[in-house]
Amino acid sequence: MTSILSTVSELRAALAQRRASDTGHRVGLVPTMGALHAGHLALVGEARKHSRTVVVSIFVNPTQFAPHEDFEAYPRTLETDVAKLTGRADIIFAPSAAEIYPEGFATSISVDGPSVGLETDIRPHFFSGVATVVAKLLIAAGPDVAMFGEKDYQQLLVVKRLVQDLALPVEIIGVPTLREADGLAMSSRNAYLSGGERTIAGRLNVILKEAALKARDSGNLRAAEASATIALWNAGFGRADYVTIRDAQNLEPLAKLDRPARILAAAKIGKTRLIDNMAV
């Protein structure tokens, strides 16, 4: 039976009881902001492979939204999310904002390294909000493993850096991006797309694949990035925040493909901003 808990004390008590009754009991955590889709459920399935108890947190984190962003409009579908998780997760942790950020809350975590540039150039507040809430969730649940999707690749590396630097006793596992039939990375924000915008969005992954191939064939990374940017505009994207090929381990800029690399992009259609990435 899936339990729905809303306070850190309830979560800790439930997990302590499970651990006490089973030597070597392993806990897996899947942090989400809800509006769950098949990509999230893939994370839950992966967590099940590594742990006896699976905890899924559902919390739309206000500190990672800037005042002009879509915090109020972000989809909140708790009832539907619970139905999707029933039988898949053991515990759903759905705290209020006051539970995570009680009155007087005055602490934030800043991670440099992989957080520098890319998303930070557009959303300078973002990774501090992510790092702070992820740290709180990891400390609250004390999981053995936590699952994060590779779709948010920069976020994945930021969380890995956070855990390493703070010596938190948890393994962070990146799970490959789940995609729609046309290759569009699954995302809760895809629900914002109109029919015509959805067709354009399906070109993003195709353009990245073409750019990755061009980079491998020519060795000219800057030309591959530039051609992908132009292709996004030609496809109907209104803005390309970045298209870049980076070191896959730390997101440092690359002059040539002499190590594992990743191509990452962020582009906007109408009011919807999409991100994607893949190995080069």
Cα 7 from chain centroid (whole Å) = 23
Residue 263 near residue 278, CB atoms below 8 Å? yes
72-99 core/surface letters (b: 16 or more CB in 10 A; e: else) = eebbeeeeebbebbeebbbbbbbbeeeb
| Angle, vertex CA 205, rays to CA 175 and CA 186, nearest 5 | 45
> Is residue 40 annotated as part of the catalytic site, yes or no?
yes
Cβ neighbours, 10 Å, residue 209: 15
d(CA 61, CA 64) in angstroms, rounded, equals: 6
3-state secondary structure of 105: coil
Length of the chain in terms of residues written: 280
What are the strands, taking DSSP E only, across 158-230?
171-175
- Of the residues 37, 40, 50, 125, only one is catalytic, namely 40
d(CA 230, CA 237) in angstroms, rounded, equals: 10
Residue 174's alpha-carbon distances to 8, 17, 21, in angstroms, are: 25, 28, 29
Residue where the block lists tokens 């729609």:
180
Residue 64 near residue 119, CB atoms below 8 Å? no
Q: Which of 75, 38, 82, 74 is nearest to 57 (CA)?
A: 82
Point out the residues that are catalytic: 40
